[in-house]
Amino acid sequence: MFRCGIAYPRCRWIVPLLLLFAIIFYIIAIAAESGWVKDEDTKSHYANMWNQYRRVWKGDKWVEMSLMEYSWAQAVAALMIIGLLILIIAFIISCVALCCTLNITLLPFIGVLLIIVVILQVIALIIYPCKFNELIFEGNYYYTWAYGFGWGATILSIGCAILFCCLPRYEDELTGLAKTKYLYSSA
């Protein structure tokens, strides 16, 4: 006989793990040295969140120019760092609320923190390409995996925010007191 049901007590461990993956994705996006944007045609220009690099045609030397002299780049950096700090706080609270003891009252608060993180991330990840494209006029550019990790962290944060807002409805299931409801049962 085969039965398929949802094991809610596993959410107590999986949801904080998803937040940990979001933090890792976020750190990769912020710290990536290889760049968020690369020149498609000549491979002579790329930029990460902090700096842009241009290749000098005589030799293999790269010239580094800081993006932090632009107010939009400072805003992107500030939004990303504040979002990372709030995400770390939400992760710590979720570990306390779900892994140590089951504290259902903290779950909506964690969901609100994650919604704030998502708003900050979306604003930062939209400002960067818009303003960078205004800064650079020549050639075609494409966004790399490091920029994609920023969006990956955003998507994980959205999913976790929804889960944290919905989990208080399933308190008995999370504690293991409720009887398992099977979605499929073959007899």
**Tokens 């398992």 identify what position?**
180
| Sheet containing 45-47: order of strands | 62-66, 51-55, 45-47, 37-39, 141-143
Q: Which residues pair with 63 in a beta bridge?
A: 54
- Concatenating the DSSP letter of every residue in 108-128 gives HHHHHHHHHHHHHHHHHHHHH
pLDDT at 171: 62
| Rounded alpha-carbon distances, angstroms, from residue 122 to 87, 118, 146, 167 | 14, 6, 15, 24
pLDDT in tens, the chain (187 residues): 455 555 666 667 888 899 999 999 999 998 887 777 877 765 677 777 788 877 776 667 777 788 888 898 899 899 999 999 999 999 999 988 887 777 778 888 999 999 999 999 999 999 888 887 777 766 677 788 888 899 999 999 999 999 888 877 766 566 565 566 666 666 5
First to last CA, the chain: 6
Tell me, what's the pLDDT at 9?
66
What pLDDT is recorded for position 23? 95
- If DSSP codes are grouped into helix, strand and coil, which group holds residue 183? strand
**The pLDDT value given to residue 164:** 85
Domains within the chain, CATH numbers bracketed: 7-38+69-176 (1.20.140.150)
> Which residue from 149, 82, 68 is spatially nearest to 119, judged by alpha carbons?
82
pLDDT digits (tens, 9 = 90+) for 115-142: 999 999 999 999 888 887 777 766 677 7
